[in-house]
């Protein structure tokens, strides 16, 4: 599974390299202005991927933390207050993905 994820990330990086080169050429004045609209489209895909991946990862983390917290609370009810911050930290992953998406769209 980890090999597939690494392969997928490498393919995404390889496919995104021409976009950065095209943007640099447009800034230098060497390229035509026809390609600049293409990079604007990829901004929206990047923002969607940032939110989507972070929300999926946050959901997986909250699910595992919640299951472990329920198991611990069934044995000792005093642990409920100690498990709550960990679930909040896992939900924060989604917020960071949203902030990254905002920065991608603004900049």
Same domain, 15 and 51: no
Give the chain's domain count: 2
Residue 13: give the domain boundaries. 1-31
Query: What's the CATH code of the domain at 102?
Result: 1.20.20.10
Same domain, 45 and 68: yes
Of the candidates 41, 56, 58, 46, the one whose C-alpha atom is nearest the C-alpha of residue 102 is: 46
Same domain, 21 and 56: no
Token pair, residue 74, equals: 């069934």
Whole-number Å distance between alpha carbons of 72 and 94: 25
Same domain, 15 and 61: no
Residue 80, pLDDT score: 80
Rounded alpha-carbon distances, angstroms, from residue 83 to 29, 56, 63, 86, 94: 56, 21, 13, 6, 19
Q: Going from the first residue of the chain to its last (107 residues), give the mean pLDDT of each consecutive group of 10, the final group possibly shorter.
A: 76 68 57 59 92 94 92 88 87 93 92
Same domain, 76 and 99: yes
Indicate the pTM of the whole model: 0.62
Same domain, 24 and 44: no
Residue 1, pLDDT score: 74
Q: Do residues 23 and 39 make contact, with C-beta atoms less than 8 angstroms apart?
A: yes
């Amino acid at each position: 599974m980890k090999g597939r994820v690494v392969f997928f990330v490498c393919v995404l990086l390889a496919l995104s390299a021409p976009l950065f080169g095209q943007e640099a050429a447009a800034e230098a004045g060497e390229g035509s202005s026809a390609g600049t609209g293409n990079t604007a489209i990829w901004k929206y895909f990047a923002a969607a991927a940032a939110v989507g991946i972070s929300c999926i990862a946050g959901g997986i983390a909250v699910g595992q933390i919640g299951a472990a917290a329920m198991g611990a609370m069934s044995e000792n009810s005093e642990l409920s207050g100690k498990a709550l911050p960990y679930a909040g930290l896992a939900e924060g992953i989604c917020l960071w993905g949203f902030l990254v998406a905002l920065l991608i769209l603004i900049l």
